[in-house]
Structure 1
Amino acid sequence: MLSILTNRTYRHLLAAQIVALTGTGLATVALGLLAFDLAGNSAGLVLGTALTIKMVAYVTVAPLAAAFAERLDRRKMLVVLDVVRALVALCLPFVTEIWQVYVLIFVLQSASAGFTPAFQATIPDVLTDEQDYTKALSLSRLAVDMETLLSPMLAASLLLFVSFDSLFLGTSVGFIASALLVVSATLPSPRPVEPRGIYDRTTRGIRIYLKTPRLRGLLALSWSAAALSSMVIVNTVVIVRSNLDLSESAVAIALAGFGGGSMLAAFALPRLLKRFSDRRVMFSGAVLGTGVMAIAAGLSAAMPITLGLLTVTWVLVGFGYSSTLTPSGRLLTRSAHAEDRPAVFAAQFTLSHACWLVLYPLAGWLMTRFGATTAMAGMAVAAILGLTLVLRVWPRTNTKAVVHSHPDLPPDHPHLTGPKPHAHPIIIDDLHHRVPHEP
């Protein structure tokens, strides 16, 4: 897996991702402490609102950013967005009102909504071999999971020597370091064949996405994965602190189980994806996570939940979650031409976060109103709905070349040159508006 680090451009991009994630992790801890400092016992409400603002920014800003990404130098765009994030982080220690937190969080997450899809779309342009790209996806997953595990520990260590608002300085340093690493790399920046209007550019990624059967399947899997992760992210602290009456360190142990399972999947995926299709691996991962969540709901109804049982459950759910979502970059790369990749990655970013925007509050409401057993069962049912939709919208067959015709093109059109009958893998574009023979 580490062999791809010999590629200098990718090595710098991975380093940029790691330092930016570290800065984000420090900001997460500092934001919770800032909310408590400003709102006291209402800090949970402040953080919940900030999380909602984050998701709204992701859902609304990503398509707009993608519309401009195809006309901008990609490296300059990434650097500017990193600088914006660094400046916002520097402003956070000086806020005195809760509304100021909300405004700054919206600006920060809007910049992230532009940065993340463009960054993700750059990797397959740098690593053109599919096996290398698969390894890169696993390394990115590992970086995310390591940040989840290590950033709280780093923050705790720093808080022994500095106040919590100093953590925002670390966040800013992380984003500046990310910008410098991006500057040091030479990035490809594909251009569209012809200029398009703003409406076309804003909606193009989502239109390509929703017209591609395997990407509609990916959206259904994203719904299932969001249902599982929402239960973990939103309700672990309530289960451990309230139901089990355990300490904050026990919360960290349970969440580490989820992150550890995800990391195990990241190590296993390159080999699994060599032997099995993306569809089989991703669907199996979602089935595993859903089945474990459903079994845990049944067990919790029959016997008290223990920390050990919860942690083992989260390990298996984390493995299924990572197996479901980590290969998604391969599907997105195969489903768009180079110039459309930023828009398609932005579409996945937008639509998947729309799933979390619905399921985060649902998981919290079920837990508050009915308890852990019902919340687990409800999230398992939501995940099953996604799995059912996958079977309907993502065909099991994966024909590499599809025989089709173009009655709207003249016989001498350049696209029609070559052997007859006309057959090739279908990618939605200006010449292919739908997948042939699709019902």
Structure 2
Amino acid sequence: MGLNLAVAGAGAIVMVNTVNLVQDTLGRPAADVAWLLSANGLGVLVIAFAVPMLSARFGDRAVMLTGGGVLFLAAASAVGFTFTSADQWQWPALLVLWAAIGVGSGAILTPTGNVLRRSSAPHDRPAVFAAQFSLSHACWLLAYPIAGWGATVAGYSVTWMVLAGLAGTGACVALWCWPAREPEALEHVHPADITDLDHVRGTAATAVGYVHTHTFVIDELHRQWPQRCRSAA
């Protein structure tokens, strides 16, 4: 959710404000709207091709959190433009910033499916992916009105500062909530009166219940992370 908020915060600048920025504020031709949006799309495309190699080398966490940082820096840099007059805005720099927002978004969105699959049991994945779709769009539902209504009422400076703040907040939340060391197999305890005995078959009962270790995801039998995992995080 933190990274979804980062994507929405920075992405709303591109999706909502590009047309008015190019044609009304900068007075450039309509064709330049397409060029600026193309720069954003090119950033997404380039990083999408690179993500499998980057994830294999550095892991999904590093790639996605880096994407969150790029989104915040790009949105914050865009704010800097708003404090200068329109004729001082450098078009090549805007192209780079829009491409950077694309890179940051792609670095987060491309590995998301892998993270969701690793975090859920096969029979829960339709619900998990549906939740991701709904909750990510809830972030867009927050960011879109800020970008549109805010730019009209308060101008780009205030609006983009708010959106950059959303992106930065989302990236920080993700960094705080996603532990750097996250083992897949965790030791945990099931109560002695567990109803699904097949799950603990071959595990000896102890005074505290059935203690065993396996790849851990949240599901009907595992509704919270083991205490050891939460403490380590």
- The DSSP-based 3-state class of the residue aligned with 2:115 is helix
Residues 240 and 307, structure 1, Cα contact 8 Å, conserved in 2: no
Give 2:207's aligned residue.
none
Give 2:146's aligned residue.
362
Letter of the 1:252 partner, please give it. A
Q: What's the RMSD between the two structures over aligned residues?
A: 1.9
Give 1:284's aligned residue.
66
Any idea what the Cα deviations from partners look like across 1:101-159, whole Å, max 9, x if unmatched? xxxxxxxxxxxxxxxxxxxxxxxxxxxxxxxxxxxxxxxxxxxxxxxxxxxxxxxxxxx
Shift of 1:240: 0.2
Gapped regions of structure 2 (runs ≥ 5):
205-210
**2:177 pairs with 1:380:** no
Q: 1:428 aligns with which of 201, 218, 221?
A: 218
Which region of structure 1 is more displaced relative to structure 2, 399-408 or 225-234? Answer: 399-408
Alignment partners' CA distance in 2, 1:315 and 1:236: 13
Would the alpha carbon gap of residues 274 and 362 (structure 1) be closer, same or farther in structure 2, given more than 3 Å must change? Answer: same
**2:2 pairs with 1:220:** yes
Shift of 1:410: 5.0
Shift of 1:435: 1.2
Gapped regions of structure 1 (runs ≥ 5):
1-218
The within-5 A match list for 1:227-238 is: 227-238=9-20
Would the alpha carbon gap of residues 408 and 389 (structure 1) be closer, same or farther in structure 2, given more than 3 Å must change? Answer: farther
Alignment partners' CA distance in 2, 1:326 and 1:409: 42
Would the alpha carbon gap of residues 306 and 424 (structure 1) be closer, same or farther in structure 2, given more than 3 Å must change? Answer: same
Letter of the 2:154 partner, please give it. F
Give 1:315's aligned residue.
99
Higher relative contact order, chain-length normalized (CA < 8 Å, sep 6+): 2
**2:115 pairs with 1:326:** no
The within-5 A match list for 1:6-155 is: none
Q: TM-score, length-normalised on structure 1?
A: 0.48
Give 2:119's aligned residue.
335
Any idea what the Cα deviations from partners look like across 1:308-354, whole Å, max 9, x if unmatched? 22211101110011101111000111122222111110000000001
Alignment partners' CA distance in 2, 1:245 and 1:299: 15
- The DSSP-based 3-state class of the residue aligned with 1:301 is coil
Shift of 1:363: 1.0
Residues 65 and 175, structure 2, Cα contact 8 Å, conserved in 1: no
The within-5 A match list for 1:410-429 is: 413-418=197-202, 422-429=212-219
Alignment partners' CA distance in 2, 1:333 and 1:411: 26
- The DSSP-based 3-state class of the residue aligned with 2:225 is coil
**2:83 pairs with 1:293:** no
Give 1:241's aligned residue.
23
Residues 250 and 307, structure 1, Cα contact 8 Å, conserved in 2: no
Alignment partners' CA distance in 2, 1:408 and 1:342: 31
- The DSSP-based 3-state class of the residue aligned with 1:321 is helix
**2:45 pairs with 1:263:** yes
Shift of 1:247: 1.5
Would you tell me which structure has more strand in proportion to its own residues? 2
What number of residue pairs does the alignment pair up? 221
Would the alpha carbon gap of residues 315 and 431 (structure 1) be closer, same or farther in structure 2, given more than 3 Å must change? Answer: same
Alignment partners' CA distance in 2, 1:395 and 1:294: 26
Letter of the 1:271 partner, please give it. M
Letter of the 1:256 partner, please give it. S
- The DSSP-based 3-state class of the residue aligned with 1:422 is strand
